[in-house]
Amino acid sequence: MRSIKALFSQQLKNLYHLFQAILANVWYGFPSRKIKIIGVTGTDGKTTTVQMIAKILQKANIKVAVASTINFVIDGKEEKNLSHHTTESSFALQKFIRKAVNAGCEYVVVEVSSHGLDQHRVWGIDFQAAVITNVTREHLDYHKTMEKYRAAKKVLFKNVAKNKGNLVVNLDMERPEEFLDFAKNKVFGYTCHPELVSGSRFRIPPKDGHGKSGMTSDNVKIINAEEIELGISGSKFMLHDTCFMLHVPGLFNVENALAATCVALGEGIDLQVASEALSEIKGVAGRMEAVANDLGVNILVDFALTPNALEKLYSLLYGVKKEGSKIIAILGSCGDRDQGKRPLMGEIVSRYADVMILTNEEPYHEEPQRIIDDIFAGIKNKTEGENCWRILDRRQAIAKALSIAKAGDIICITGMGNFETMVVGDQKIPWNDRQVIEEELTKIQFGCIVSS
């Protein structure tokens, strides 16, 4: 009975959001009809992919606007996104698009969340292109099942299909064929594992029950990275005869670069332009962001907050760490969200990290210690007090990591990225991981006692 009431309540909320979206479109004059909108959705990689797409468009001398988790940009003028929302309210989003139109922008690149799609916050926006980076476990507190989560993501693709726009799909993600079944559209599939791509893998089952097949890989323009070289400070790969140099590390960022390049190709932009643009990106705030220091320690701040993102991140760090050095992981998990992922996160990180420090992230209305304990329950092969600690205070957790790190070690702190605040209950407390790390480094420099 309670689940039925919750479902009914959510439906009422979604109707409210739909009404708001309709009103916002009317109020601002359906601005998306006067500009090209590119939507990027997926569990991980959305923010970086959005930034990469925008950079390529700018390199092609195109005026562009960006609405992402980390920032809002209109023709080079940037404001930080302090809301913690991936997709803004319909009124805020329509107002932003209207401002982009008035500024003479030709494109808006929008980061689109499953919540925004399910709640009709992007209703009325005519997307000309859509990207799906991946779909892995996340937001099950809201969607309840992975099927419903995937269905929410697919709403964006249906929108673009209606407009006969370009579709971009990560062929390396689970069940990519669900996002390829749009035969009337120009579809790009990208992969870092071309040997795994086959016609049979991406054949869409018959829809009419009479043996008439749908789309196969023959209908998809496949873009595959070759000669991939990965390092802690960047990556290199080839597309056809064009070399791509990235100053952001990880195979996942190669995937993000491929997604952005596919969008570029769909818009008629040359591979060389895409390559030059991506080589100019020195980093994305809160995404594998390095913190300079005099300790000789590699300190990284990353937004990774899903099991999949942590798997990719820590497998990269494990592969590039030097012999004799150690990986020190600092992590927590957001409150009032999918609780089932927490022990999975603990288990994954414990496989790769030498030292783990569990700490508070954004508890919202949950008890912070309970969240930490949920993560701790999944940890393997660690002994509390020797190579694993539960330190509730996030600043103290960072100080602890710095106190035990030696030159060559890697400290990785995840979950908050570039956020400027931490949500505790109904309050937003000032907080920025990078700033706190730098403050703790200053204490060490001047010989202050480090918290234990």
pLDDT, tens digit (0-9, with 9 covering 90-100), for 63-80: 999 999 888 999 889 888
pLDDT of residue 47: 92
2-279 CATH:
3.40.1190.10
- Structure letter (DSSP) for residue 290: E
19-33, 169-183, 326-340, 348-362: segment of lowest average pLDDT: 169-183
Q: Flag whether pLDDT at 384 surpasses 50.
A: yes
Backbone angles phi and psi of 437, in degrees to 5: -60, -45
Domain edges within the chain: 2-279, 289-445
Average pLDDT, the chain: 88
SS3 content of the chain, % helix, strand, coil (to 5): 40, 20, 40
Q: Which of 146, 148, 138, 140 is nearest to 117 (CA)?
A: 148
pLDDT of residue 452: 43
pLDDT of residue 192: 93
- Structure letter (DSSP) for residue 287: B
Give CA–CA dist 255/197, Å, rounded.
15
Looking at 170-282, list the stretches that DSSP marks H as alpha helix, in order from N- to C-terminal side: 251-266, 271-279
CA dihedral 58, 63, 67, 70 (to 10 degrees): 40
* CA angle, residues 236, 224, 345, in degrees to nearest 5: 75
14-28, 208-222, 434-448: segment of lowest average pLDDT: 208-222
9-13, 254-258, 383-387: segment of lowest average pLDDT: 9-13
Q: Flag whether pLDDT at 200 surpasses 60.
A: no
Q: What is the pLDDT confidence band of residue 163, given thresholds at 50, 70 and 90?
A: confident
| Torsion sign (Cα): 427, 432, 436, 439 | negative
Instruction: Tell me the Ramachandran region of residue 268: left when phi exceeds 0, alpha when psi lies from -120 to 50, beta otherwise.
Output: left
Q: Is 296 helix (H, G, I), strand (E, B) or coil?
A: coil
pLDDT of residue 89: 85
For strand 235-239 and strand 226-230, is the pairing parallel, antiparallel, or unpaired?
A: antiparallel
Give CA–CA dist 451/399, Å, rounded.
6
Q: What is the pLDDT confidence band of residue 19, given thresholds at 50, 70 and 90?
A: confident
Alpha carbon of residue 225 to chain centroid: 20
pLDDT of residue 31: 96
What angle, rounded to 10 degrees, do the helices at 251-266 and 271-279 form? 140
289-445 CATH:
3.90.190.20
Query: How do residues 99-146 score in pLDDT, each as one tens digit?
Result: 999 999 999 999 998 888 888 888 899 999 999 999 887 766 676 788
Give CA–CA dist 224/244, Å, rounded.
12
Q: How large is the average pLDDT for residues 208-216?
A: 38
What angle, rounded to 10 degrees, do the helices at 394-404 and 433-445 form? 50
pLDDT of residue 451: 45
